[in-house]
């Protein structure tokens, strides 16, 4: 029997719930060559959505390339990852990979490396470098392959915000945009886990990727969609949970997809036959124990002023931090210090800024901070 709930990785099959509208929209984009940009907070299921649509649309005439560039820190690390992923996804056999690389890229020395990791059978190394391979040639690779073979290609790039963090990022962005905007047989799906960095890349009129494609913000799955899913997954495991407790799982973690699955799993493991208020408490305690080490590490290097701003937000203040009563009560320092505090916490993804003010980004962090740091 498959695990009733999955967290910490992309989900698929029966474990993928709702997102009907987003799935249909992204599928239409993939099938019609429309660029897509997905922006949302962490743990909302972006990767799961993209992989679901990938499975729906792939065919001999439509190839979908998926890559995660989180570990790429330089321009040519990205190009190596980009080219390798494209070659691998468009080669029908492993034996053809090296031949395809040589056919479409000048001066490469492809090597197939077998991986010791159980989740990865092998990887393709091309040995790209600025002297032998210019950026435009590499970025044009999927379009060349698509034209030659008479197919459409969709390139999906996870953690795309890394492009904005690279040295000389603006030049890299201009180079990428200048090539990709001319592609007729290749489209792109760009998404990442750092919402504020992704927003900066695609919302700013001054940056190259402004209006690059269809942008949509992946919102939380509504509680009324989660409840039947949670109940059905408990039934798969031979247990029961009431509607109120299923709803409580959702509201406790503010409908963050990964956290709903994590908390539901921990409540399930604490339940023998039917979930109760006590098994919910035990499940929440188990969930908090799992994330606590991460929160301890994340807050270890925060200044006292930064911690105090978080305390103010936890106490219900979301605006007007410059008022004397707020700065005095929470020891926030001078008013001129507040923009720096806010920027630092946004950059480190502790808080989000909305039209209603500043809010903490992570619902489990809110619970942990209130319990341990107030």
pLDDT reported for residue 106? 76
Q: Which residue segments constitute the domains of the chain, with CATH numbers given?
A: 19-217 (3.40.50.300), 223-297 (1.10.8), 301-372 (1.10.10.10)
CA separation for the pair 47, 43 (Å, rounded): 9
pLDDT band for 273, please (50, 70, 90 cuts).
very high
pLDDT of residue 1 exceeding 50, the answer is: no
* Cβ pair 201, 207 in contact under 8 A: yes
pLDDT of residue 159 exceeding 70, the answer is: yes
- The pLDDT of 107-121, averaged and rounded, is 62
- The pLDDT of 154-177, averaged and rounded, is 96
CA separation for the pair 27, 53 (Å, rounded): 6
pLDDT of residue 11 exceeding 90, the answer is: no
Interacting residues of 93 by C-beta distance below 8 A, sequence separation 6+: none
Question: b/e string for 47-77 if b means 16 or more Cβ within 10 A?
Answer: bbbbbbbbeebeeeebbbbbbbbeebeebee
pLDDT reported for residue 2? 65
pLDDT of residue 30 exceeding 60, the answer is: yes
Selected residue with higher pLDDT from 246 and 45: 246
* Cβ pair 212, 35 in contact under 8 A: yes
pLDDT of residue 9 exceeding 80, the answer is: no
CA separation for the pair 83, 259 (Å, rounded): 34
- The pLDDT of 300-324, averaged and rounded, is 95
DSSP state of 140: T
Phi, psi (5° rounding) for residue 183?
-75, 130
Which region holds residue 159: left if phi is over 0, alpha if psi is between -120 and 50, else beta?
left
pLDDT band for 17, please (50, 70, 90 cuts).
low
pLDDT band for 99, please (50, 70, 90 cuts).
confident
Segment holding 189, helix H or strand E: strand 186-191
pLDDT reported for residue 18? 67
The encoded tokens of residue 81 equal 């990852």
- The pLDDT of 37-61, averaged and rounded, is 89
Share of the chain above pLDDT 90, in %: 72
* Cβ pair 249, 270 in contact under 8 A: no
CA separation for the pair 163, 70 (Å, rounded): 10
Selected residue with higher pLDDT from 205 and 122: 205
CA separation for the pair 300, 287 (Å, rounded): 21
Q: What is the largest CA-CA distance in the chain?
A: 70
- The pLDDT of 43-56, averaged and rounded, is 89
User: CA dist 148 to 90, 103, 351, Å?
Assistant: 12, 11, 47
The encoded tokens of residue 49 equal 């959505």
- The pLDDT of 149-160, averaged and rounded, is 97
CA separation for the pair 117, 122 (Å, rounded): 9
- The pLDDT of 112-139, averaged and rounded, is 71
Lowest mean pLDDT among 38-47, 137-146, 203-212, 300-309: 38-47
- The pLDDT of 9-16, averaged and rounded, is 59
- State the chain's mean pLDDT as an integer: 90
The encoded tokens of residue 233 equal 């997954």
Lowest mean pLDDT among 104-118, 153-167, 209-223, 308-322: 104-118
- pLDDT tens sequence across 233-265: 999 999 999 999 999 999 999 999 999 999 999
- pLDDT tens sequence across 207-225: 999 999 999 888 889 999 9
């Amino acid at each position: 029997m498959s695990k009733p709930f999955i967290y910490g990785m992309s989900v698929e099959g029966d474990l993928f719930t709702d997102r009907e509208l987003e799935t249909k929209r992204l599928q239409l984009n993939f099938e019609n060559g429309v660029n897509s940009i997905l922006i949302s907070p962490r743990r909302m299921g972006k990767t799961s959505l993209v992989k679901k649509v990938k499975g729906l649309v792939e065919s001999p005439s439509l190839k979908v390339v998926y890559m995660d560039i989180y570990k790429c820190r330089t321009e040519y690390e990205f190009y190596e990852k980009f080219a390798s992923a494209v070659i691998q996804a468009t080669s029908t056999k492993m034996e053809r990979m090296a031949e395809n690389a040589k056919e479409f890229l000048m001066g490469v020395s492809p090597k197939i490396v077998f991986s010791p990791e159980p989740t990865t059978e092998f990887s393709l190394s091309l040995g790209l470098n600025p002297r032998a391979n210019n950026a435009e040639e590499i970025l044009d690779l999927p379009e060349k392959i698509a034209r030659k073979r008479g197919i459409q290609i969709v390139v999906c790039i996870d953690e795309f915000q890394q492009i904005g963090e690279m040295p000389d990022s603006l030049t890299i962005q201009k180079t990428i945009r200048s090539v990709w905007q001319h592609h007729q047989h290749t489209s792109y799906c760009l998404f990442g886990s750092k919402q504020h960095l992704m927003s900066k890349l695609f919302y700013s009129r001054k940056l190259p990727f402004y209006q690059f494609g269809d942008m949509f913000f992946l919102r939380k799955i509504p509680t009324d969609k989660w409840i039947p899913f949670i109940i059905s997954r408990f039934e798969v495991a031979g247990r029961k949970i009431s509607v109120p407790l299923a709803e409580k799982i959702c509201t406790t973690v503010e409908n963050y997809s990964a956290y709903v699955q994590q908390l539901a799993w921990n409540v399930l493991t604490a339940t023998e036959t039917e979930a109760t208020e006590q098994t919910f408490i035990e499940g929440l305690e188990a969930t908090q124990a799992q994330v606590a080490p991460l929160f301890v590490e994340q807050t270890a290097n925060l200044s006292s002023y930064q911690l105090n701003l978080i305390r103010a937000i936890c106490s219900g203040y979301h605006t007007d931090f410059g008022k004397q009563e707020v700065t005095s009560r929470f020891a926030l320092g001078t008013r001129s210090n507040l923009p720096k505090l806010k920027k630092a916490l946004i950059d480190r993804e502790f808080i989000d800024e909305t039209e209603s003010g500043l809010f903490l980004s992570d619902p489990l962090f809110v619970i942990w901070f209130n319990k341990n740091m107030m």
